[in-house]
Homo-oligomer: A and B are copies of this chain.
């Protein structure tokens, strides 16, 4: 057995990790726009990247490295270094060459506008401001934000029965382009667990399915999506099940924070699909619901328009029929196998559920045992405002 104890130390919760955010003039008004994560010993690395074919330069840079250890990640916001071709890669090599000799295989990660070269001079000047003896995880988490309205961190200390313990800490940015196949999201996770690279990668691949790959803001998958997990093994201890649970909890928390903070979002909605032919079909429906513009705008309008939910289920291409379907808003069942419960009183009860900041929409297909939970948000005027002039 083991215990998970919540920590507020973010990526610095793990022993030997340092982090900070600084302002390099990429954002307006001296807002923090560059961050680093540094470990005083080398780390093994696990990772998951976007499925977008137009890989951003930092991801190409990472993938070109093959097998490696590192102790340093440089992160900038405001510019994604995507669609910048070979010059975008050259910029990374040039920037990282200025990081100092104590940085082993330094990595870079970027988020922001696509198709513009990095402001190299500003970033190189920014690196000079880094102090790798600092532990300011909140400052780092702020520096990586783009259209996020708040920073996102989570950390646990994991206490094992033998008295030993290890830590997992993370920071993330989300907001727009959050999609079932990852999103414009960056997530950096540190641990001092004495975990092998293969165990880390296995745990990461497993957790991403039900966390970052189960959320949707707008159905777009970005060029830069990145999850990097670093371990410096400093705790000298490890327990597989505890590690997996803590990692999943950290990622689940951050994924929900991203959905909740979707651009302009006011509600966090869980799409709980059960009774599908299999888990895959449940996943297709849950993600179709969390992606549907008609459902998202109905959420924003707090309109319990279950017809749109039924229609989206029907349009998703999976096995479904109206005679077996059941739809509920939290515990308010509005449609049950052809019986329409929906009258004015019912509508009022369902509408009340929708005024909450968090609620569930459940669809039971009544066919077999397939189940999946996806997470999404509403879409309102603010989303349009943010995205109609993001670049300006």
**A positions within 8 Å CB-CB of B:** 50-55, 80, 82-86, 113-117, 176-177, 179, 181, 218-223, 291-294, 297-298, 300-301, 303, 305-308, 310-315, 317-323, 335, 338, 340, 342, 379-381, 383-385, 387-392
Q: With CB as the reference atom, state the residue of chain B lying closest to A342.
A: B115
A53 to B314, CA, bound (A): 4
Asked, given contacts A310-B114, A311-B220, A312-B220, whether A297 binds B383 with beta carbons under 8 Å apart, the answer is: yes
Write the chain B residue with the least CB distance to A181.
B315
Interchain CB contact under 8 A, A294 and B176: yes
Contact A54 B311 (CB under 8 A): yes
Measured CA separation A311–B315 after assembly (Å): 25
A52 / chain B contacts, CB cutoff of 8 Å: 311, 314-315
Is B85 a contact partner of A305 (Cβ separation < 8 A)? no
Judging by beta carbons under 8 Å apart, are A388 and B301 in contact? yes
Whether B293 and A387, one on each chain, are in contact in the complex, defined by CB atoms closer than 8 angstroms, is yes
The complex places the Cα of A384 from the Cα of B382 at a distance, in Å, of 10
| A216 CA to B305 CA, complexed, in Å | 22
Q: How many copies does the complex hold?
A: 2
Identify A384's interface contact among B53, B177, B179, B380, CB under 8 A: B380
Which of B113, B218, B307, B312 is in CB contact (< 8 Å) with A113?
Answer: B307
Q: Are A323 and B85 in contact (CB under 8 A)?
A: yes
Chain B residue contacts of A115, Cβ below 8 A: 306-307, 310, 335, 340, 342
Measured CA separation A318–B116 after assembly (Å):
24
**Assembly CA distance A379 to B321 (angstroms):** 31
Q: With A301-B387, A305-B391 in contact, is A220–B293 under 8 Å at CB?
A: yes
Whether the pair B177, A221 counts as a contact (CB closer than 8 A) is: no
Q: Is the CB of B388 within 8 A of A320?
A: no
* B338 pairs with A292, CB closer than 8 A: no
Q: Which residues of B contact A85 (CB under 8 A)?
A: 322-323, 338
Is there an interface contact between B177 and A307, defined as CB atoms closer than 8 Å? no
Distance in Å: Cβ of A143 to nearest Cβ of chain B: 22
Residue in chain B with minimal CB distance to A319: B53
A321-B388 in contact (CB<8A): no
A54 and B222 form a contact (CB under 8 A): no
Q: Is the CB of A307 within 8 A of B86?
A: no
List B contacts of A53 (CB < 8 A). 313-315, 317-321
Contact A82 B311 (CB under 8 A): yes
Considering the complex, give the chain B residue whose CB is closest to the CB of A117. B340
Determine whether the beta carbon of B86 is less than 8 Å from that of A300.
Answer: no
Alpha-carbon separation in the docked complex, A381 to B220 (Å): 19
Name 6 interchain pairs, CB-CB below 8 A, sorted by A: A52-B311, A54-B310, A54-B320, A115-B342, A223-B310, A301-B388
**A292 cross-chain contacts in B, Cβ below 8 A:** 219-220
> Residue A83 contacts which of B291, B298, B315, B322 (CB distance < 8 angstroms)?
B322
Chain B residues with CB under 8 A of A335? 83, 115
Q: Which of B117, B314, B380 contacts A54 (CB 8 A)?
A: B314
With the chains together, A321 CA to B223 CA distance in Å? Answer: 12
Cβ A294 vs Cβ B218 within 8 A:
yes
Cβ A218 vs Cβ B293 within 8 A: yes
A43 CA to B186 CA in the complex, in Å?
A: 60
When chains A and B are docked, how far (Å) is the Cα of A384 from the Cα of B50? 29
